[in-house]
Structure 1
Amino acid sequence: MSKSDFDASSASPSHGARIAMLTVVAMLAFAGNSLLCRLALKGTQIDAASFTLVRIASAALVLWVMLRARISHARADTRRAGNWVSALALTVYAAPFSYAYVRLAAGTGALLLFGAVQATMIGYGIAIGERLAAMQWLGLLLALGGLVWLVLPGLAAPDPFSSALMIAAGIGWGVYSLRGRGRSDPVAETTGNFMRALPFALAVSALAWPFASFDAPGLAYAAASGALTSALGYVIWYAALKGLKPATAATVQLSVPVIAAAGGVLLLGEPLTARLAASAVAILGGIALVVSAKRR
């Protein structure tokens, strides 16, 4: 990121360094969501529904406490902020995300999630009449081709059902992101949505109750995913967004699947396959073409 990537109001070197630091921390937090979920579901006794419930509950609690510390009448503001449709979209992201990581590697899941999110948002833009340049169409086709190649049947292909769940999670997050654009107070909005998502998470957990299981490490990972990499991660990201141009913000998110894949290899002992590497280059490179062409 260069100084020109920041808004005029954030042109000072010290402020620019602060925005860059916040951005790096936010990207690490987003990748950490994948790593914590995979670590919990692979190495502990917690089930996917319980992980989702604890993650959403801990995120809602931390966000509510932060909002209450900032606003004296937080309860009234939280009721007005957020909405049930966005809360449902948040749950559609969080629940399949957890179930997908029962069998997906961290890097593969993050790449599928990120590709589905961007495809949803780009597809929405096309549906409402946004025109793409030739280079953007090339990038879109390259990204979609990489996504198809990643999930094609073969020895190195990820589990197809888990892949479908992660793509559904990406669509849910894309819808949630589209609905949250332009909100005047994203922290209050996020708090309201997480609190409204609790009944949905409870319903998922109730349906899966016959298969419920958990232990102390699993609960700890789920709580960390909600309180740290979700709640605090989103707050830090919203703070960074104030000093980033939209195209820059979209571009830096390309780092999330790479960080998650590296973390999976280094921390979880997951293999880095040639198919994953080639698909990552195609998907992230294609999205970069779309974003960079839009910036120009």
Structure 2
Amino acid sequence: MQQRFSFIAEAGTIDFTGNLEEFDQVHASGTPLNDKLAEYYQQQDELTASRNTIINDFRTAQAAGDTVAMQAALNKFSQAMSKADSLTKVFIGQNTDNVLAPMLALRTYYSDNQYTELDSLYKTFSPTLANTLDYQRIKELLAKWAQLQEGAIAPDFTQTDSAGNPVALHDFRGKYLLVDFWASWCGPCLRENPNIVAAYHKYKDRNFDILGVSLDENREKWLSEIKRGGLTWHQVSDLKGWKNEVSSAYGIRSIPYSLLLDPDGKIIGKHLRGEALHEKLDEVLPE
């Protein structure tokens, strides 16, 4: 398994500390930007340790059946997560004139639901960063995410289905369509699939269909999971994994991911999972 750690290649002597067998614990220092980054990571490490303590407190309370202590732990965990988020935003805001801001922003904002936040941060970056790699990546990502905002027409695409036939998004015009990005190796996807199966059988006779887009690389595993999970709707994949041409064009950085389209191909829902999917379908597909 590949392991990585971040540092800034800048003039001066850069010192590396930590255990090379645990790359997430390796930090660089000795130069201005690396010192800033090391301080940020140290603060985040302290917050992570605090969250781990809270998780242990929750598990202890859960084992004892102490619901009051469980709720208190949940409240503390929420506060700790907010502190970590605030720390990152403040750090980015303090470094908009150097490469640390786009670097941290790109690693923090993973979902198109965060489009507005990332776009706001991006607009604060110094123009002197325009030719840096992470700045350019954010620019490209925002352009992709802009196409996926509710009310927009989902960009068309064509991929090959499990029988080798080309299937296009526009083939489903006239129906409500759930576009579901998933993979056979994705644990959260597999846990969500039974909910999607239930939705399909409940609503398929109400002008509703599903198009699965798999980020698999192994054809046999993809087809096996389709059969095992009862995913009997349309399934496509180019078997390129995270380099899937559709997910790449859409700027998708995590799965499961879904879009709900109306009969005109307009996006009317995103990230619909669990009961939220059924509630939305009940809303747009009355009996």
TM-score by length of 2: 0.27
Q: TM-score when scaled to structure 1? A: 0.27
Higher Rg of the two aligned structures: 2
The structure richer in strand per residue is 2
Q: Greater helix percent: which structure?
A: 1
